[in-house]
């Protein structure tokens, strides 16, 4: 095989891996939208907060240490111990479930049957609150997240692909990040599990009923509050997974919350109500932006990856606004 063809294959594979990372964030948006019919603006910040909490627990950092030191004039930052990754993840998950319960009890229960724009504005407020609370609780410095997931290029794969070109060719093997492979496997498992839950369980059907009509769901005995706590807890779990993968890849920093913006085109392509669509949309965006950067970027000055996804999303909004897998809305007058 020619090096040019292998470069193309490498670009596609890395695009698929990047698309999976986008999809992990988009899954949280889909879950909230399916249960409440609103777009959860805070999903990216939830991933950031989960990653900050996980690192803080792992390293034994004292929560609110900066605030404590400023008020009492002390200089304490750590408990002096570290927590195994497994237990840190379990505690972080429990915190995200507690957060879901508190958000429902303090905010959502007062917004039953309100217009979607009201609920959307509530998630904007939640995003800013969580970002400030996370900064106050764990600090704003960049943190390293390590839970033992392998990262870096696969030397085994590079050695194999180096033999696919004629001897003497200027080709050094195909680069595939092991962390991206793990993220792809995790995303596939999540999609399968969430699809089964949504389609074949009683709670999954109740979730879809709540999204269609709050009052009708309550009239047949479905507890709206229970469903909202459940779905926000699941979204918190998905945010934790996304935070782990993105945090391990690029460090836990406050720019991590901006990954929510990259999930928007993924949702527009896949559809706001489709769990598999979140993955397919992410794969299309990931591969498309990598190929565009490789083949079109040199002619337009590069940096196509920054805006390619939004152009594709705009085209979809013009011709298929419900996305590839979204439900087409038909209103009869």
pLDDT tens readout for residues 126-166: 989 999 999 899 988 888 888 888 888 888 888 888 888 87
Token pair, residue 225, equals 């509050």
Cα–Cα distances in angstroms (integers) from residue 310 to residues 97, 267, 285, 307, in the given order: 33, 11, 9, 5
Tokens 């152009």 correspond to what residue? 311
Per DSSP, the residues of 79-102 read -S----HHHHHHHHHHHHHHHHHH
Q: Mean pLDDT throughout 13-20? A: 87
Let me know: does 65 contact 77? Beta carbons within 8 Å.
yes
Q: Determine phi and psi for 57, rounding to 5 degrees.
A: -70, -40
Does pLDDT of 180 surpass 80?
A: yes
Question: What pLDDT does 331 receive?
Answer: 52
pTM score, whole prediction:
0.86
Indicate if the pLDDT at residue 328 is higher than 70. no
Say what the pLDDT of residue 92 is.
Answer: 94
Report the SS3 class of residue 321: coil
**What span, in angstroms and rounded, lies between the C-alpha atoms of 95 and 90?**
9
Residue from 18, 5, 35, 14 nearest 250 by CA: 18
Query: 90-124, pLDDT tens digit by residue?
Result: 999 999 999 999 988 888 888 777 787 888 888 89
Task: Kindly list the distances between the CA atom of residue 234 and the CA atoms of 60, 88, 170, in Å, as whole numbers in the listed order.
Answer: 26, 18, 48
| CA distances to 81, 261, 301 from 233, in Å | 29, 22, 43
- CA 289/CA 298 separation, integer angstroms: 13
Question: CA-CA distance, 260 to 24, in Å (whole number)?
Answer: 10
Both tokens assigned to 144: 């390293």
pLDDT of 93: 94
Torsion of CA 17, 20, 21, 26, to 10 degrees: 160
59 or 168: which carries more pLDDT confidence?
A: 59
Angle between helices 275-295 and 3-36 (to 10 degrees): 150
The pLDDT-based confidence of 326 (bands split at 50, 70, 90) is low
Question: Where is pLDDT greater, at 84 or 223?
Answer: 84
**pLDDT beyond 60 at 4:** yes
Place of tokens 């033999």: 163
The answer to which of 182-191, 198-207, 231-240, 285-294 has the lowest mean pLDDT is: 198-207
Task: Give CA–CA dist 284/184, Å, rounded.
Answer: 14
pLDDT exceeds 80 at position 48: yes
62-80 per-position pLDDT tens digit: 998 888 888 888 888 888 8
- The per-residue pLDDT for range 262-320, each reduced to its tens digit, is 788 888 888 887 878 888 888 899 899 888 888 888 887 777 888 888 888 888 888 88
Q: What's the chain's length in residues?
A: 333
Phi, psi of 171 (to 5 degrees): -140, 130
Average pLDDT across the chain, whole number = 83
């Amino acid at each position: 095989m020619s090096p040019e063809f292998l470069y193309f294959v490498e670009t596609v594979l890395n695009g698929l891996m990047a698309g999976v990372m986008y999809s992990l964030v988009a899954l949280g948006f889909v879950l909230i939208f399916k249960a409440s019919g609103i777009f959860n603006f805070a999903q990216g910040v939830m991933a950031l907060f989960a990653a900050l909490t996980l690192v803080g627990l792992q390293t034994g950092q004292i929560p609110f240490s900066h605030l404590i030191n400023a008020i009492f004039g002390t200089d304490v930052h750590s408990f002096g111990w570290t927590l195994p990754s497994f237990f840190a993840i379990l505690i972080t998950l429990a915190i995200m479930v507690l957060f879901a319960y508190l958000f429902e009890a303090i905010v959502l229960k007062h917004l039953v049957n309100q217009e979607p724009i009201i609920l959307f504005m509530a998630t904007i407020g939640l995003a800013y609150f969580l970002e400030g609370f996370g900064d106050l609780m764990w600090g704003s410095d960049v943190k390293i997240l390590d839970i033992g997931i392998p990262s870096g290029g696969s030397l085994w794969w590079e050695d194999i692909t180096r033999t696919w070109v004629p001897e003497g060719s200027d080709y050094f093997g195909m680069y595939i990040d092991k962390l991206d492979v793990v993220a792809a496997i995790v995303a596939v498992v999540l999609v399968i599990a969430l699809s089964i839950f949504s389609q074949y369980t009683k709670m999954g059907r109740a979730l879809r009923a709540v999204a269609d009509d709050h009052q009708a769901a309550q009239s047949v005995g479905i507890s709206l509050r229970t469903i909202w706590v459940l779905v926000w807890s699941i979204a918190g779990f998905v945010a934790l997974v996304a935070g782990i993968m993105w945090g391990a890849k690029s460090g836990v920093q406050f720019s991590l919350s901006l990954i929510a913006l990259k999930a928007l085109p993924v949702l527009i392509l896949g559809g706001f109500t489709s769990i598999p669509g979140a993955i397919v949309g992410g794969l299309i965006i990931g591969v498309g932006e990598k190929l565009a950067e490789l083949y079109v970027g040199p002619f337009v000055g590069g940096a196509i990856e920054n805006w390619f996804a939004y152009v594709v999303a705009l085209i979809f909004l013009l011709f298929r606004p419900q996305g590839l897998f979204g439900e087409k809305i038909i209103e009869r007058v």
